[in-house]
Structure 1
Amino acid sequence: MSVLIRSLIAVLGGLLVTASFEPITLPWLLPFGVALYALATRGLSVWRSGAVGLVFGVSFYFTHIEWMRGSVGPDAWVALAAVEAVFYGLLGLAVPVIRRLPAWPLWLAAAWTTMETVRSGWPFSGMPWGRLSFAAVDTPVAPAAAYVGLTGLSFLLALTGFLVARLVEALAPAVRPRGGDRRVVDARPARTTGAALVGLLALLMVPAVAPYDPPLDGTATVAAVQGDVPGPGNDILWDHRGVTQNHVDATVRLALDVATGEQPRPDFVVWPENSTAVDPFTDVAVNDGIRTAVSAVGVPVMVGGIVDEGRDHVLNQGIVWDPVTGPGDRYTKQHPVPYGEYIPYRRYWEPKFGQLALITRDMKSGTRTAPLRVAGIEVADAICFDIAYDDVMREQVRAGADLLTVQTSNASFIFTHQVEQQFAITRLRAIEAGRWLVVASTNGRTGVIAPDGTVVASADPRTTAVLVERVELSAGLTPAMRMGVWPSRLFTVLTLAALVAGIVAYRREREFAGPARVEPDEETPAPSPTPNEAPVA
């Protein structure tokens, strides 16, 4: 099979994985896309396998985050997608080595998961978008996230795809005998692989039959405010004071509804990220508006605000604003977006072009791992893209959080499918943590999510809305939360062990096995007869 044909197979595989996510949302295609990655790179040299893996990465990632092209800019889209595509090429370099091992689908699935972990944290703060588990929210395997975490779920989904590829390889000789050869084909590899695949699928279904049941530790009533964004809707700064005023007005109306009995009194209120785009501590008008809203509703409000940190830096914070004591506990966004919220290595260069010219101050990262204390409730908070990173919610839940909140803007992406992709990730975090989760967005997807990922209530995008829902609190830890970071470490160790073992096997083949091995699906042409051997007419 030529490299061109393999590249076309890789392109198809990448597109199938893209189609597993929003907006197409056909998650059953995911294992087949992963299987095509393995089939396209089969039997190639290290460098050719890496090149085909890169083709897969380009096909997948450029289409998966196509929403960046119109919302952030084509330059940022191309740059980020290209960087992320390289990781699939690097994995391709490892495929020929890992395939030399027995049970290679297991080892390659560990390597795929390790690749996802690495690219989710590097370079800079990484980009977790596109992890296999993020496509699983509305599938029977989603409940497994509570048991194995999203990292473990990615491994199981990758393993499913690679077992499909191995089954195809095992069946191929029986379907297409070589050169008319009708010898009996050994069916044991196909039977073994098929049994492993069926067993894995059955294992993935177990949590759907016996989902994790979080222990109840009380209840609370929470209000999420979606104030909407004036003007075109995709630019917070078009009228940032109007954004703040929208949230103030919606909260005051909520207070009136509570007073008349139309709504129950919430224990606290959640405002979204960028509900104020200027420092609420130094801007008098914004400060007055927040105090008016908090005083009217009479309960703490989690305000999403941009806070000055000296002349050159800002903080993206969730601030607990109490009606009596004022601003108190704060969560600071831990994973600002490079080249979106800060310029890496600014000391060495100062970009004055495109969207980068608009980033005049760098956003600092937060380090808090303890939950916020809001109205006597331990609340784990995340801001926007934070929700895609494993560490943010995990560490706060392990530190005692009873409830999850997400403060997000989404305004920049309001006309794209990024909003739905992020909301799907958010629902999976609720399942993984075994917690109720409240999302407040400026104009995207505000909602309340149950621990099984069910959307209990949601607001339509680009509207002003207030959701008031009674949620349950839980102090128990899911198996995924108990394991913490250890699954990632385990898969990293397995990957390194597989690479070492594969390299040793390769060297032994070179030294002792004679001619290079030919893959079973590659037909070796019969040698042409020499002149002395040519038949006489």
Structure 2
Amino acid sequence: MALRDRLRPYGPATASVVLIALAFPPLNLGLLVFVALVPWLLSLRELDSKQAIKSGYLFGLLFWLHQMQFVQPLVAKWTGNVLLSLIPWFSACLLGATYFAFLGFVLRRCLKSKREWLIPVAWSGLEVVRSFVPILAFPWGLISTPLYRYPPLIQLANYGTQYLVSAWVVAASVGVVLLFSGTGWNQLRYHALVFLGLLGLSIARYTAPEVGEPVTVTIGQPGVDAAFSDPEEEARKVGVAVAELSESALAQRARLLILPEGMAMGGTEVPPDVPFELTPGLPVLFGGSRGPQPSYQSAFAFDGEWKYADKRRLVVFGEYVPLRGTLPFLDAFELPTGDLRPSKRTSAIQVAGMTVGPMLCFEGLFYDVAADQAKNGAQLLAVMSIDDWYVGTGAPEQLMSASVWRAVETGLPVARSASLGHSIAVDARGNIVARAPFGVTYPLRANLILPKQAERFPGIEVVPIALAIFLLGAATMPLPRTKAGSPDRV
């Protein structure tokens, strides 16, 4: 067989990845996600099991090369070695591709068994698994992510988290596949009715008014590079910036000034060591490190009394390094020398007469942290972040987009402060109601509606678990028998 003939089955997988890449930052052709999987799904019908696994692995490899591209410039700048920076980027992609090799196997089984309705839940089930697998948990590159720009389309997240919206998105591609496959209208119309019914439910929630107390907060963006600056120079600039932001917050009559992560430089307990003066009469919330050993990443609040809440979800290889003592080659990457310790629980903070749910940087990606804050009685979610490591890639925007999803899932407004940006305010329907210009010192005034409690659909946490179970079911279900009486090839 000619090489071109051998490669032909894998072209559609590449085409689907290209469509997904076009939908994500920085190009942001977000609506393409509704048809992005069509080429790959059509091709899987014609592949045997081994080919489907290979096709899935190729899909996953290309997918992660795009999604994880931010790793290469980060490591290159950190180590000063471009060749060394390729190792973690490629390694992560080669490992992550195995998820999609398994998914290719599963999706082919769904197609062969004529259970196409399982495809959306199997896809989303895999998103759940890779988001919460121990040690490597990373909810990144979810297929619904680009839709954050279209809040009327994503309100299903309030009923079943972002993963339910991902299933709905994939259902659109499945509908197109059924259309191209000659499926009769009687079957296809039910698929279309369910899809459009869920769209109507989303739009209905979006148009419902918010109920609560109007409140003004100032989201302070220092405009200081907190990733690659000289520490002394950074501290000096932060001090100047926070003084300016505090003055503006008072002028805006803000109830609270929210600053990003990285404002506290350590200390044994509270009050933390900070490079700025507190302003009398102005409550403030910010992130930083706490304690020598053990050390935590924490949110600190002051309104006449100090409070803090420790971070629960840490960044692997950033805030802690697994197998540090057994992998000597890690020394070449100049990783941080001390591991942070995760908190055993998610805690809210009472500050300025509000219950605020702090989420520190990486935590903003996790729906369960926001859900726990909603259970804690949070009226406002505050995301405090440092995205400066990834400037020049699509990562800062994808990190920012998570705040929109957390707002819709919980029915709570979100205030996001980042050192260089993106700093935004999001209402409970996922609308970005205020945005600071990137890279400058900016006091972002945010007028938000503060509810008495989160607007959460009962049992929302069950949906991701159910999706993961459906993935397992799709992988193990029996295939129909062929005319010869034996099961279809697996």
What is the TM-score with the length of structure 1 in the denominator? Answer: 0.82
CA distance in 1, matches of 2:213, 2:442: 26
Find the counterpart in structure 2 of residue 226 from structure 1.
221
Deviations 1:473-493 (A, max 9, x none): 11344454x323200122223
* Residues 58-97 of structure 1: pairs in structure 2 closer than 5 A: 58-72=61-75, 73-97=85-109
In structure 1, the partner of 2:142 is 131
**2-structure distance, mates of 1:365, 1:417:** 27
Structure 1: which amino acid aligns with 2:485? G
Structure 2 counterparts to residues 135-284 of structure 1, below 5 A: 135-139=146-150, 140-170=152-182, 189-212=183-206, 213=208, 215-229=210-224, 233=225, 236=227, 238-257=229-248, 263-276=251-264, 278-281=265-268
**Aligned equivalent of 2:81:** none
Question: Quick one: which amino acid aligns to residue 198 of structure 1?
Answer: A
Cα deviation for residue 151 of structure 1 reads: 1.4
- What are structure 1's unaligned runs of at least 5 residues? 171-188, 520-537
Match of 1:428 among 388, 391, 405: 405
Mean Cα displacement is larger for which, 431-440 or 358-367?
Answer: 358-367
Deviation at 1:461, TM superposition (A): 1.6
Shift of 1:410: 0.7
Which letter does structure 2 place at the counterpart of 1:31?
F
How many angstroms does 1:281 deviate by? 4.7
CA 1:463–1:490 in structure 2 vs 1: closer, same or farther (change >3 Å)?
A: same
Residue 286 (structure 2) pairs with residue 303 (structure 1): yes
2:461 equivalent in structure 1: 485
Task: Tell me if the contact between 1:65 and 1:77 (Cα under 8 Å) persists in the aligned partners.
Answer: yes
1:17-48 deviation line (CA, Å, top 9, x unaligned): 12111111112221322222222222323222
- In the alignment, the residues of structure 2 paired with residue 77 and residue 128 of structure 1 have an alpha-carbon distance, to the nearest angstrom, of 17
Secondary structure of 1:194's partner? helix
Match of 1:221, as an amino acid? T
Aligned: 1:344 with 2:325: no
SS at match of 1:210: helix
User: In structure 2, what residue type is equivalent to 1:150?
Assistant: Q
- Per the TM alignment, residue 360 of structure 1 is displaced from its structure 2 partner at its CA by 0.7
Which residue identity lines up with residue 46 of structure 1 in the other structure?
S
Q: What runs of 5+ residues in structure 2 fail to find an aligned partner?
A: 76-84
2:485 pairs with 1:514: yes
CA contact under 8 A between 2:160 and 2:460: conserved in structure 1? no
Amino acid at match of 1:514: G
Number of the residue aligned with 1:526: none
The CA deviation at 1:138 is 1.9
CA separation of 1:239 and 1:27: change in aligned 2, threshold 3 A: same
Identity of matched residues, %: 21
Change in 2 beyond 3 A, CA 1:332/1:105: farther
The CA distance in 2 between the partners of 1:385 and 1:201, in whole Å, is 32
The one-letter code of the counterpart of 1:341 is E
Secondary structure of the corresponding residue to residue 302 of structure 1: strand
SS in 2 for 1:363: coil
Q: CA deviation at 1:457?
A: 1.7
Following superposition, the deviation at residue 353 of structure 1 comes to 3.8
User: Does 190-199 or 24-33 show the bigger shift?
Assistant: 190-199
Distance 1:343 1:92 in 2: 31
Partner of 2:120: 109
Range with greater deviation from structure 2 (19-28 or 70-79): 70-79
Shift of 1:3: 4.9
In the alignment, which residue of structure 2 is the partner of 1:533? none
Taking structure 1 as reference, are residues 84 and 192 closer, same or farther at Cα in structure 2, changes over 3 Å only?
Answer: farther
**Which residue of the partner structure matches residue 287 of structure 1?**
273
1:319 aligns with 2:300: yes
Q: Secondary structure of 2:289's partner?
A: strand
Q: Secondary structure at the match of 1:362?
A: coil
Alpha carbons of structure 1 residues 248 and 283: separation in structure 2 relative to 1, 3 Å: farther
Q: Please, what is the CA RMSD of the aligned residues? A: 2.7
Q: Tell me if the contact between 2:37 and 2:170 (Cα under 8 Å) persists in the aligned partners.
A: yes
What whole-Å deviation, never above 9, does each CA across 1:266-300 have from its counterpart, x for those lacking one?
22211101123x2045799x73644x2x2x24232
CA contact (8 A) 1:15 1:63 kept: no
Counterparts of 1:89 and 1:352 in 2: how far apart (Å)? 28
Which letter does structure 2 place at the counterpart of 1:30?
A: V
Deviation at 1:163, TM superposition (A): 2.3
Distance 1:518 1:76, change over 3 A: closer
Deviation per CA, 1:159-214: give whole Å up to 9, x if none: 221222222122xxxxxxxxxxxxxxxxxx23135313432442243145312436
Distance (whole Å) between structure 2 residues aligned to residue 479 and residue 288 of structure 1: 36
Query: Which of these residues, 434, 443, 450, is aligned with residue 420 of structure 2?
Result: 443
Q: Which AA in structure 2 matches 1:408?
A: S
Task: Give the equivalent residue in structure 1 for 2:433.
Answer: 456
Is the contact made by 2:412 and 2:454 (CA closer than 8 Å) also made in structure 1?
no
Aligned residue-pair number: 476
TM-score, normalised relative to structure 2: 0.89
One-letter identity of the residue aligned with 1:146: N
Measured in 2, the distance between the counterparts of 1:225 and 1:297 equals 17
Distance 1:256 1:302, change over 3 A: closer
CA distance 1:20–1:193, shift in 2 (3 Å)? farther
Cα distance in 2 between the residues matched to 1:2 and 1:517: 24
CA gap 1:193/1:339 in 2 versus in 1, 3 angstroms: farther
2-side partners of 1:417 and 1:137: how far apart?
14
